[in-house]
Amino acid sequence: MTAVAVQTNQLTKMFDQKIAVDHLDLTVQEGEFFGFLGPNGAGKSTTIKMLVGLLRPTAGTALIAGIDIWADPLQAKRMIGVLPEGQNIYERLTGREFITFAGVMYGLSEGEAAKRTEELLNLFDLDDAAEKLIIDYSQGMRKKTGLAAAMIHAPRVLFLDEPFEGVDAISGRAIREVLQRLRQRGTTIFFSSHILEVVERLCTRVGVIANGRLVAEGTIPELRERAHAGETSTLEELFLRAVGATHEDGAPEAERSLSWLA
C-alpha cells in the first residue's frame, strides 16, 4: 500500500473574519507529482505555508508522512524542501555559499554539503555564476539556486509555489527535467502554478481550490469524466469549469464579458 506523504484534516485558516482556507481535506500519496491549482486569492499559498510550518492553522491538522508539522516541527521539516513564491534568498551570498549553507542547516556535514553543492551547480548550469553574489542573478538563476537549496538534503516531499514564474524557456526546461528526475527517485512533489500547460505536462494528479475549498481532485482523465468533458479537453478548460468561470455552454467568462467587442 502506498504511503501518504501529505495529508490535511479539516485544515482551516482565518484572517480576522475572513476564511482563507475552509476545512480542507487533502491526501497526497508518496511519489506523486501533485498539482495544486486555483484562482488568485483562492488559498493556495496560504495552504502551502501551513503545510510547511510557516503559518499556523486556525484549526485542523497538516501532516507530513504522518507527522503533525505543528506538533513536531523539527522532525517534519527534516523531510521537506520548500521553494516559496516569494523567495527569501540571502542576496549578499554567492550561489555556492547559499546552497552550501542550506545543506548545513538541513544537517549535512560541511564536506557532504560542499560535495552536493558542486553537483547541483553543475546540474543547473550555474557553475560559471557560482562565485557571483545572488543579488546580481537573473530571476531564472535565482529560481534554480532556490530549488538547489530546497533539494540538497534529498527531501521526501518538495513544495514548489510558482517555480516557473519569471523564468525563461531555458531555465524552465532545466527545472522541469530536474523535477522529473526527482520524482523518478521517489520524491513527492507538491506543485502550485498558474501555468496550466506545465501542470498538465508534469503532474500525475491535480487538486483545484476555490474560495478556500477543494472543488475538484483527481487525474486529468478522472476530471474529464466527472465534468462530462471530451477526451481532448485541456486542463485549462477543466479548471475553468471547476472554479465556475464558464457559462452553461462551457464558454469562458471572458468571452461573455467581451462580447460587445464582436
Percent of the chain with pLDDT over 90: 61
Does residue 43 carry a pLDDT above 60?
A: yes
Does residue 250 carry a pLDDT above 80?
A: no
111 and 16 assigned to the same domain: no
Of 121, 152, 183, the residue at which a domain comes to its end is 152
18 and 145 assigned to the same domain: no
First to last CA, the chain: 55
Is 187 inside a domain boundary?
yes
144 and 206 assigned to the same domain: no
Q: Which of 135, 138, 111 is nearest to 124 (CA)?
A: 138
Cell numbers of 238, please?
477543466
159 and 193 assigned to the same domain: yes
Residue 258: per-residue pLDDT = 56
Q: Which residue has the cell 548550469?
A: 125
Domain of residue 8, residue span: 1-79+155-231
Residue 140: per-residue pLDDT = 86
74 and 175 assigned to the same domain: yes
Give me the mean pLDDT over the 218-241 stretch. Answer: 88
Tell me how many degrees the CA angle 75-80-84 measures, rounded to the nearest 5: 130
Is 237 inside a domain boundary?
no
Residue 175: per-residue pLDDT = 85
Cα–Cα distance measured from residue 135 to residue 70, given in angstroms and rounded to the nearest whole number: 33
18 and 122 assigned to the same domain: no
2 and 47 assigned to the same domain: yes
Is 186 inside a domain boundary?
yes
Does residue 208 carry a pLDDT above 90?
A: yes
Is 261 inside a domain boundary?
no
74 and 160 assigned to the same domain: yes
Is 256 inside a domain boundary?
no
pLDDT in tens, 50-104: 999 999 999 999 999 999 999 999 999 999 999 987 777 899 999 999 999 999 9
Longest CA span, the chain: 65
Helix axes 139-151, 110-123, angle to 10 degrees: 140
**65, 147, 157 from 28: Cα distances, Å:** 10, 21, 10
pLDDT in tens, 123-169: 899 999 999 999 999 988 998 999 999 999 999 999 998 888 877 88
Residue 82: per-residue pLDDT = 93
Is 64 inside a domain boundary?
yes
Does residue 181 carry a pLDDT above 90?
A: no
Per the structure, the count of domains in the chain is 2
111 and 215 assigned to the same domain: no
Helix axes 139-151, 95-105, angle to 10 degrees: 30
